[in-house]
Amino acid sequence: MAVSENELELLEMYLDEALPAGEAEALRQRLVVESELAGAAAELRSQRALRAAVWSSLEPTDTATEQMGWRIRGAMRDRHSGLSSWWTARVGSVAAACIVLGFFAGWMGRGGSAGPAGTVSQNAVPTIAVNQNNNAAMPALAVPFRVPVTNEYGQVVDWQQFPDAEQAKTFMENLHAAPGAAVVAPQNDQVKLVSEEKF
């Protein structure tokens, strides 16, 4: 007689020690008498032993477990250092952008179109305005020529305005020809260069 599914489940519970004491004792007595049931129990025990051997061979050793832990910690450290360098690069880029914006704002604050110290610059080109009443061309207001006045370090300390390019050019020539440091001093609504040696 073949072993039924219910009997196999009963044997599994017996091997798991999940049967109550009375049922376990009754099954033990049947195993002594019924050889097919005893053979099925022996087969189940051998399958369990084989599965336990396979699972224990797949379980890592203490050394393998420790090595895996070191690898995971190393990978996390590498990831953290990668994020740290990315963060440093990001902060550095923001700082560089702020510096560039600061230089640009300073350049715009100085007039934007000013050349190097000692050059004459003009912010706008004079235009000709048309009188709407008689359609006659007439010159617009003259745009002043601006000349930077620098200190001994090359820093612009003031801007001097002139009504025409000739006066600006003369001022620059006098400024460069003055011996020693030159000082700009107003004199009767006119600008006059005075050498510091005269003071």
What's the pLDDT score for residue 143? 61
- Average pLDDT of span 97-105: 87
pLDDT single digits (tens) 121-161? 444 444 444 445 555 555 555 567 788 877 777 788 888 88
Considering the chain, what is the average pLDDT of its residues?
Answer: 74
Q: Are residues 145 and 162 in contact, defined by beta-carbon separation less than 8 angstroms?
A: yes
pLDDT above 70: residue 62: yes
Distance, CA of 171 to CA of 157 (rounded, Å): 16
Distance, CA of 140 to CA of 154 (rounded, Å): 34
Distance, CA of 89 to CA of 43 (rounded, Å): 66
Tokens of 67: 């090595």
Residue ranges per domain, the chain? 5-58, 69-109, 128-198
Q: Are residues 158 and 149 in contact, defined by beta-carbon separation less than 8 angstroms?
A: yes
Please report, as a single letter, which amino acid is at residue 2.
Answer: A
User: How many Å from the N-terminal Cα to the C-terminal Cα in the chain?
Assistant: 133
Full-model pTM: 0.33
Tokens of 194: 């005075």
What's the pLDDT score for residue 122? 47
